[in-house]
């Protein structure tokens, strides 16, 4: 087919090529720009009417971009797409395409990336080829007025039959709703696929989480038993749904435990997808957001629905909408809700204390002495071989003893601040920061080598320990942090 679809050669019979367009007095491109620059009523009607006049022998199907993104479908390798232009003749005062280009900065400045550019198409025309069938596809922004919402950008698909267009839309829709090394994330008012979150949980493992072993086993059993007990719930004639809350002071493993469970569920024989709620912000309001969240969860059930920082998400003004989705007439079978909070007291009692919404609460307290020793040994392993840093076994227990009532996050800060103070130059400081992430490195900790037990070394006295620069510096940082904690209290 020629690049200019206005005057193609007649296609051979049976090849599925769209017939040539009818010669109308005004082309769609000209009509769009003429209409867009004038007072208007309904862009969609104007475009649809003009297309039917321009292509009377083709069937028109309109599909919103937010529902089905045909260009993304093609970019993933499932179809080919070629930009087309229209010969506007003497009416050439309009551009043949229109788009805006936005700059997206790099996610991390230290990566030295220039960032990247994204194009937002306002009007364009394409030849779209899928399974040897060819379609003419216009994309046009039908926003009427100055408001950015609601978005009404549409695919206008022209083909010899509605059946062909609908087959294309079904294939593209199924692809767009599937996950391939991605996690569904609700943010900004809609669901998005996140490859970054999927990658962040690949190293997560329960074996690497410092937690009371009994509590850890109970949590894992709680989740796995639920997803394996659908028939049992059915026999008991109770809804197959469950909710738990992780609560306790920040920095003690709630997020890492959620990641470990996400990975565990993905690795099951019948993989369980996770849906992560980042915010309830939506132009249509929290009621729409919560409806969209639970609609997606019901679609993907059995699934793991995550509300991190639950007290911030389900505030007083959205509580009734949340409860309506949890307790309403629609079935939530197969949905396991997990909520985490640093402030259980901020949750409405109807959420935190009533079973059938969140049935069980798990406290993640500040670590005890044994767990602090384990974490200090983790840092000892990280720093092994570091030039100028002596970290003998005796220091693991001594540092654990002076960090009582500290969370893991506070102990991490004590180590990072101490190492930065000891570091001699900027390069060394960069190395300290690069390996100080609790969530990344902690997950790779081998607990078999760090069981928290006493190695039998002589504890020595503090006077002997003063020869270790790490011990001298970490005592200073612990004192500073403890003063800050006391002021917070």
Q: Is the pLDDT of residue 428 over 70?
A: no
Cα–Cα distances in angstroms (integers) from residue 325 to residues 244, 287, 295, 296, 426, in the given order: 16, 9, 9, 12, 52
Write the pLDDT tens digit of every residue in 180-228. 889 999 998 889 899 999 999 998 989 878 888 899 999 999 999 999 9
Q: Is the pLDDT of residue 127 over 70?
A: yes
Contact 280, 313 (CB under 8 A): yes
Q: Which pLDDT band, with edges at 50, 70 and 90, does 96 fall under?
A: confident
Q: Give the predicted TM-score (pTM) of the model.
A: 0.72
Q: Which of 123-132, 205-214, 223-232, 318-327 has the lowest mean pLDDT?
A: 205-214
Q: Which pLDDT band, with edges at 50, 70 and 90, does 436 fall under?
A: low
CB neighbour burial string for 189-222, b if at least 16 within 10 angstroms, e if fewer: bebebbeebbebbeebbbebbbbeeeebeebeeb
Look at residue 180 in the predicted model and tell me its pLDDT.
Answer: 84
Cα–Cα distances in angstroms (integers) from residue 198 to residues 75, 194, 259, 273, 339, in the given order: 21, 7, 10, 11, 19
Q: Which of 23-27, 243-247, 343-347 has the lowest mean pLDDT?
A: 23-27
For the chain, what is the mean pLDDT?
84
Write the pLDDT tens digit of every residue in 403-419. 999 999 999 999 999 98
Domains and CATH numbers, the chain: 28-176 (no CATH), 194-363 (3.40.50.300), 369-488 (no CATH)
Mean pLDDT, residues 364-373 taken together: 93
Q: Which of 23-32, 279-288, 294-303, 381-390 has the lowest mean pLDDT?
A: 23-32
Number of H helices, E strands in the chain: 19, 13
Write the pLDDT tens digit of every residue in 106-118. 766 666 788 888 8
Contact residues for 427 (Cβ-Cβ < 8 A; gap 6+): none
Cα torsion 174, 178, 180, 182: sign: positive
Contact 184, 170 (CB under 8 A): no
Q: Is the pLDDT of residue 443 over 80?
A: no
Contact 153, 65 (CB under 8 A): yes
Name the nearest CA neighbour of 258 among 271, 247, 269. 247
Q: Is the pLDDT of residue 340 over 50?
A: yes
Cα–Cα distance for residue pair 50/13, rounded to 1 Å: 27
Cα–Cα distance for residue pair 24/3, rounded to 1 Å: 19
Q: Which pLDDT band, with edges at 50, 70 and 90, does 274 fall under?
A: very high
Main-chain dihedrals φ then ψ at residue 192, nearest 5 degrees: -135, 155
Look at residue 46 in the predicted model and tell me its pLDDT.
Answer: 87
Contact 337, 242 (CB under 8 A): yes
**pLDDT > 90 in the chain, percent:** 55
Q: Is the pLDDT of residue 489 over 80?
A: no
Mean pLDDT, residues 25-43 taken together: 73
Mean pLDDT, residues 237-263 taken together: 94
Write the pLDDT tens digit of every residue in 48-69. 999 999 999 999 999 999 889 9
Q: Is the pLDDT of residue 2 over 60?
A: no
Look at residue 16 in the predicted model and tell me its pLDDT.
Answer: 52
Residue 183, CB-side half-sphere exposure with 13 Å CA sphere: 24
Q: Which of 169-178, 186-195, 227-236, 437-446 has the lowest mean pLDDT?
A: 437-446
Mean pLDDT, residues 174-184 taken together: 89
Look at residue 150 in the predicted model and tell me its pLDDT.
Answer: 56
Look at residue 449 in the predicted model and tell me its pLDDT.
Answer: 41
């Amino acid at each position: 087919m020629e690049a200019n679809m206005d005057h193609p050669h007649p296609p051979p019979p049976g090849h599925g090529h769209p017939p040539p367009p009818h010669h109308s007095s005004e082309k769609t491109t000209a009509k769009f720009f003429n209409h867009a620059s004038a007072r208007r009523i309904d862009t969609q009607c104007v475009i649809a009417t003009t297309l039917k006049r321009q292509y009377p022998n083709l069937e028109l199907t309109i599909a919103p971009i937010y529902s089905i993104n045909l260009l993304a479908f093609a970019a993933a390798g499932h179809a080919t797409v070629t930009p087309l232009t229209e010969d506007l003749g003497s009416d050439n005062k309009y551009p043949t395409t229109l788009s805006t280009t936005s700059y997206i900065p790099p996610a991390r400045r230290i990566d030295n990336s220039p960032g990247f550019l994204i194009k937002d198409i306002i009007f364009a025309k394409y030849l779209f080829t899928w399974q040897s069938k060819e379609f003419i596809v216009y994309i046009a922004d039908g926003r009427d007025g100055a408001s950015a919402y609601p978005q009404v950008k549409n695919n206008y698909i022209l083909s010899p039959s509605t059946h062909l267009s609908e087959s294309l839309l079904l294939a593209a829709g199924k692809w767009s709703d599937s996950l391939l090394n991605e996690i569904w994330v609700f943010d900004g008012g809609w669901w998005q696929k996140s490859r970054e979150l999927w990658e962040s949980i690949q190293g997560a493992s329960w074996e690497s989480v410092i937690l009371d072993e009994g509590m850890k086993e109970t949590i894992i059993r709680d989740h796995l038993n639920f997803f394996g007990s659908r028939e049992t719930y059915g026999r008991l004639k109770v809804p197959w749904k469950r909710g738990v809350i992780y609560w306790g002071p920040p920095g003690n493993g709630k997020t890492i435990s959620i990641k470990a469970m996400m990975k565990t569920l993905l690795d099951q024989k019948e993989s369980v997808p996770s849906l992560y709620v980042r915010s309830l912000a939506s132009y249509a309001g929290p009621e729409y957001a919560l409806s969209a969240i639970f609609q997606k969860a019901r679609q993907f059930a059995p699934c793991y629905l995550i509300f991190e920082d639950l007290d911030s998400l389900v505030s007083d003004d959205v509580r009734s909408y949340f409860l309506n989705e949890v307790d309403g007439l629609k079935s939530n079978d197969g949905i396991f809700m997990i909520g985490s909070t640093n402030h259980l007291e901020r949750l409405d009692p109807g959420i935190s204390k009533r079973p059938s919404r969140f049935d069980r609460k798990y406290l993640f307290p500040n670590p005890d002495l044994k767990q602090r020793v384990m974490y200090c040994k983790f840092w000892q392993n990280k720093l092994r071989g570091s030039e100028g840093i002596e970290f003998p076994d005796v220091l693991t227990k001594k540092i654990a003893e002076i960090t009582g009532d500290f969370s893991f996050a506070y102990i991490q800060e004590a180590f990072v601040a101490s190492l930065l103070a000891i570091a001699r130059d900027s390069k060394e400081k960069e190395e300290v920061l690069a390996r100080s992430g609790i969530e990344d490195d902690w997950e790779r900790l081998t607990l078999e080598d760090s069981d928290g037990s006493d190695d039998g070394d002589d504890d020595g006295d503090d006077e002997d320990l003063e020869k270790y620069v790490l011990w001298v510096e970490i005592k200073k940082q612990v004192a500073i942090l403890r003063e800050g904690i006391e002021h917070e209290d």
